Structure 1
Amino acid sequence: MRQYFILFFFSLFIALSSCRTDFDTVASSGDLKFSRDTVYLDTVFKNIGSSTYQLKVYNKSKDDISIPIIQLKKGLNSKYRMTVDGMSGNNGKIFNNVTLLAKDSLYIFIETTADITDADPTDFLYTDEIQFDSGANLQEVALVTLIQDAVFLFPKQNPDGSKEKIKIDDKDVDGFYLEDNELTFTNQKPYVIYGYAGVPQNKTIHFEAGSRVHFHANSGIYVDNNASLQINGSKSNTEKLENEVVFEGDRLESLYSNIPGQWGSILFADGSTNHTITNLTLKNATIGLDFKSPNNIVQIKNTQLYNCAQYGILAQNAQINGENIAVNYCGLASLSCVYGGSYSFTHCTFNNNWSGSSQFAVNLSNNLVGATPETNPLTQAAFNNCIIYGSATNEFNLSKNANAAFVYQLNNCLLKFSSSTTNPDYQFKTDAVHYNNIILNENPKYYNINQNKLNIDKNSAAFAKGNQAYIISTDILGITRTSPPDLGAYQSKDFPK
């Protein structure tokens, strides 16, 4: 019996010890170590919350310590907010008596939402410090965020709380029509669009050189019937693309710089007209340029489209004349011309290194399932001095319906099509009606495919293989082409070793 009592009290002691939640700690001595001495939160627009950033705090000593206070220097007025090991403290600003065990660490997660008026007017930086302890033991980690002012365009809110809608393809979507004084986008401030910004019928939207447009999720531009879009970018002298017109998402953090599908599309209604696109860089959309208008020829020059979740350019029975276009990383096709139309592309690089096996660089068809009628004539699809390449086995696809015309021709193009086939549509060496001077399955050796740098040098299979008859005098960057010209959108150059 005595043994049972001893066992009972021993078990009780163990249980009570294991439930203990307090620790014998010593006060912090100011010897904390940090994963970084400054936390840089990437650029954000005014009043738009940032991503969450991490700071790790280490206790290298052999003692369990108590940090009397962890706080933001600006206190409850700070535009930063934190969690410390999952605790929210006093509004995410002040934390008292934080325990940190010996040889252990804790995580601090930091966010901000600030206005441009909160920033330093000389450099637009908003700053603060995280303070650990005080007095002689005070340690600080700096916080820095660049706040960018912008013009915000968004749907109005109806009295019932719903958002303003516009109709696109017979569907009501969150959106609004731009007023006359909103139809010119300048380079004075970036623009941030929520929902679809509609260009009213019989109006023209203009984008001046150097303008920047950022789209929130499920947002874009809709060009209505008889409306026009004019993008008037110009040659830039640096990699900052200072004179390009740039369309991208509204998350400015580097983490989001190459994530596809962050926003919707630039949609051109059937009946929209007279579109000119010059020196545009578009990235991270769902569909970059979505054309549904056979009425007028669309002019696209010196334009780059990257990281689109579905298509870089999707054209349904449209008319496009394209020069110096570069497209890469698209989930379905970099260029897809369906349901007929008329197309001419010269000195273009249609590449697709999407990580998959069923995507194409170029897709052509004269049919569309469910349309009335289901076929439309493809009256022209000409590719001159182009590169059609990518990571899939075959990067060129034809979908022909015998009930409508299907006219196409590739002249002096580098093409990837690795499968052996007896299909008469893909006889690249013997079918002179559709294929002339085709370089088949040779690597163009781009400078850096992962960074969408589709430039080539003298070691490329595309070097000096173009036909002088189709030459565009300058490349996508404004560099003068030599004779014979290189294939694709870029004139070759030497790269740094």
Structure 2
Amino acid sequence: MANFLKSICDTMPRYTYVLPLAVLLVLWASCRKDLEYAPSAGNLEFSKDTVFLDTIFTNIASSTYTLKVYNRTRDDIEIPSIRLAKGQSSDYRLNVDGVAGKEFRNIPIFAEDSLFILIETTHDISASGLNSFLYTDALQFDSGDYLQQVQLVTLVRDAIFLFPRTLADGKKETVPIDLDNEGNEIRVEGFYLEDDQLTFTNEKPYVIYGYAAVPEDKVLSVEAGSRVHFHKDSGIFVSKNASIKINGTLSSDEDLMENEVVFEGDRLEPEFDDITGQWGAIWLSQGSIDNTIEHLTLKNATIGLYVEGLNESPTLTLNNSRLYNCALINLWGKTTSIIGENCVLGNSGHISLYLNNGGDYSFTHSTIANYWQNGFRSGAALELDNYAIGQSGEVAADLEQARFLNCIIDGNTNLELALRSNGTNTFAYYFSHCMIKFRDPNGNFTENPLYDFQDSSHFEQPFFNEDADFWDAKMNDFRIGEASFGKANASMDYSILVPFDILGIDRTPSPDIGAYQNAPKE
């Protein structure tokens, strides 16, 4: 301002600027007078009357939540104090308009303006002796007659934390998961489970950091109702001659899933319910044996289940389970053996079910459907091939069998089935009484013998491009409605082998195609 006034003066005769300069000085002085605030009178308004910080694990920080405080009056006001009711002992942390602390004095808010308060917490539940604890406090504004409060509520859950040790050199413990082309070990951050860690129960949830490896000749048992949460880039690795047995059972309440086993990320806030790629994978390595999975819900991984290595008996038996919302692939079998019944392989960023580089596979009454909404998807819901391209070039193996009986193969693209053979190795596949989404308006596949849908040795009673009438495919709810084409169109020959659907409903009176019997949409 001073430089601006001087420049005006320098351009005018001395006798002409005395009065204008005086006026400008008066105006300048009036602009600099101190602001005056009215006292707060208990009439603040808030964006919420209670801030729920959702659920956190013991000693793990919550997300940051926001409270907005409004001054709806036409006066600039000053709040004498903003503080936590529990004071400095509170486990909540505040940031008021950019300043961190637990108590603040004389906070101004301009007329018809607002301020932001950021809230976080970390709480240790161990002193309570409980598996879950509702931790509360209150955010207090002013005091006495003008006191206003916003409640703070957080559910804290105890958990069993499994993680790699920190070594003497400061690095984290690692485990070998594969060999590179030169025969060198590929290692990832992780640890081997001890004998007393090889049974997961439903007493407390488990939180895993890094890859929890099942040692050779050991079995990891996961009991019904167990909840396992994985941190970023974490998972389970099943070694050679080791096994995983997931022993979920049918739940009485489909929403509570009280008896199912659930694998998901370690962020418990509702906004993370459907965030893909939060954790790594369940990796059944080449040479792992007799892996069985019953009533598992697996979601939000990068690759849900990666199964490799062909054995005389099935490497994996997967029943009554749902895998969905993985960033790349829900179930990837590579030169292996898998038997699946009542499986739901839902939305994923690339492929729902990938049976790669040969193997031996059988899926009965399964729903393989990909209605991915989070960007471009290049893969089909179901892809089969008998070769793979690696760093050392192409490798190939016989696809000894890939059988799909009473299955739904569907999605939100035209082509939800992809078949690729090298023309040399065995490529044996068979679809019977399956609903298949395959629209080829330009005839790009008419000359490809793999897609000869009239060949009954590969396609018996197929149903193309029919409406499955899913309840909510975008949200991975692949129950079918009463208008579904799959209603009563399954083959009884296969249904009697799998007489109950994934929800325990008897399908034998009139079997429907897919993992679910039809029901009215709720």
Q: Distance in 1 between matches of 2:507 and 2:205?
A: 33
Which residue type is aligned with residue 57 of structure 2?
Answer: F
Query: By how many angstroms is 1:435 displaced?
Result: 0.9
2:324 touches 2:347 (CA, 8 Å); kept in 1? yes
Q: 2:233 aligns with which of 218, 222, 245?
A: 218
Q: 2:201 aligns with which of 186, 202, 206?
A: 186
Report whether the alignment pairs 1:345 with 2:363. yes
Equivalent residue number for residue 430 of structure 1:
454
Which stretch shows the higher mean deviation, 288-297 or 367-376? 367-376
Q: 1:208 aligns with which of 212, 220, 223?
A: 223
Query: By how many angstroms is 1:381 displaced?
Result: 0.5
Query: By how many angstroms is 1:284 displaced?
Result: 0.3
2:88 touches 2:102 (CA, 8 Å); kept in 1? yes
Which residue type is aligned with residue 231 of structure 1?
Answer: I
Unpaired segments of 5 or more residues in structure 1?
A: none
TM-score between both structures, scaled by the size of structure 2: 0.91
Q: In terms of Rg, which structure is larger?
A: 2
Compared CA separation, residues 63 and 419, structure 1 to 2 (3 A)? same
Compared CA separation, residues 109 and 144, structure 1 to 2 (3 A)? same
1:358 touches 1:392 (CA, 8 Å); kept in 2? no
- The SS at the match of 1:329 is coil
Equivalent residue number for residue 368 of structure 1:
388
Q: Distance in 2 between matches of 1:47 and 1:133?
A: 31
1:357 touches 1:393 (CA, 8 Å); kept in 2? no
Equivalent residue number for residue 324 of structure 1:
342
2:208 touches 2:234 (CA, 8 Å); kept in 1? yes
Deviations 1:449-489 (A, max 9, x none): 23211111220011111111111100111111034410110
Q: Distance in 1 between matches of 2:23 and 2:358?
A: 86
Q: Distance in 1 between matches of 2:469 and 2:156?
A: 39
Equivalent residue number for residue 299 of structure 1:
317
Report whether the alignment pairs 1:249 with 2:265. yes
Query: By how many angstroms is 1:54 displaced?
Result: 1.2
- The SS at the match of 2:493 is helix
Deviations 1:250-271 (A, max 9, x none): 0000000011100000011111
Compared CA separation, residues 492 and 66, structure 1 to 2 (3 A)? same
Which residue type is aligned with residue 306 of structure 1?
Answer: Y
Equivalent residue number for residue 404 of structure 1:
425
1:118 touches 1:126 (CA, 8 Å); kept in 2? no
Query: By how many angstroms is 1:119 displaced?
Result: 6.1
Query: By how many angstroms is 1:162 displaced?
Result: 1.1
Give 1:27-66 correspondences, 5 Å limit: 27-66=39-78
Deviations 1:144-196 (A, max 9, x none): 00000000000001122111111122322110000000000011110000000
Give 1:52-131 correspondences, 5 Å limit: 52-88=64-100, 92-117=101-126, 124-131=133-140
Equivalent residue number for residue 403 of structure 2:
382
Q: 2:505 aligns with which of 459, 462, 479?
A: 479
Q: Distance in 2 between matches of 1:176 and 1:121?
A: 28
Which stretch shows the higher mean deviation, 188-197 or 288-297? 288-297
Query: By how many angstroms is 1:4 displaced?
Result: 3.8
2:372 touches 2:474 (CA, 8 Å); kept in 1? no
Query: By how many angstroms is 1:5 displaced?
Result: 4.7
Query: By how many angstroms is 1:215 displaced?
Result: 0.3
Equivalent residue number for residue 379 of structure 2:
359
Equivalent residue number for residue 245 of structure 2:
230
Compared CA separation, residues 30 and 399, structure 1 to 2 (3 A)? same
Q: Distance in 2 between matches of 1:113 and 1:309?
A: 30
Q: Distance in 2 between matches of 1:289 and 1:198?
A: 15
Which residue type is aligned with residue 73 of structure 1?
Answer: A
1:119 touches 1:126 (CA, 8 Å); kept in 2? no
Equivalent residue number for residue 271 of structure 1:
287
Equivalent residue number for residue 394 of structure 1:
415
2:435 touches 2:463 (CA, 8 Å); kept in 1? yes
1:352 touches 1:359 (CA, 8 Å); kept in 2? no
TM-score between both structures, scaled by the size of structure 1: 0.95
Which residue type is aligned with residue 477 of structure 1?
Answer: L
Query: By how many angstroms is 1:9 displaced?
Result: 5.5
Which stretch shows the higher mean deviation, 426-435 or 272-281? 426-435
Query: By how many angstroms is 1:423 displaced?
Result: 3.2
Q: 1:439 aligns with which of 442, 449, 463?
A: 463
Q: Distance in 1 between matches of 2:186 and 2:481?
A: 48
Give 1:278-293 correspondences, 5 Å limit: 278-293=294-309
Q: Distance in 2 between matches of 1:16 and 1:306?
A: 67
Equivalent residue number for residue 459 of structure 1:
483
Which residue type is aligned with residue 146 of structure 1?
Answer: L
- The SS at the match of 2:276 is coil
- The SS at the match of 2:271 is helix
- The SS at the match of 1:423 is coil
1:464 touches 1:483 (CA, 8 Å); kept in 2? no
Which residue type is aligned with residue 453 of structure 1?
Answer: D
Query: By how many angstroms is 1:279 displaced?
Result: 0.5
Q: Distance in 2 between matches of 1:454 and 1:477?
A: 12
Give 1:114-153 correspondences, 5 Å limit: 114-117=123-126, 124-153=133-162
- The SS at the match of 2:153 is strand
Q: Distance in 1 between matches of 2:27 and 2:456?
A: 89
Q: Distance in 2 between matches of 1:325 and 1:207?
A: 19
Q: Distance in 2 between matches of 1:19 and 1:46?
A: 51
- The SS at the match of 1:160 is coil
Deviations 1:117-138 (A, max 9, x none): 4669596100000000011111
Two-structure CA RMSD over aligned residues (Å)? 1.8
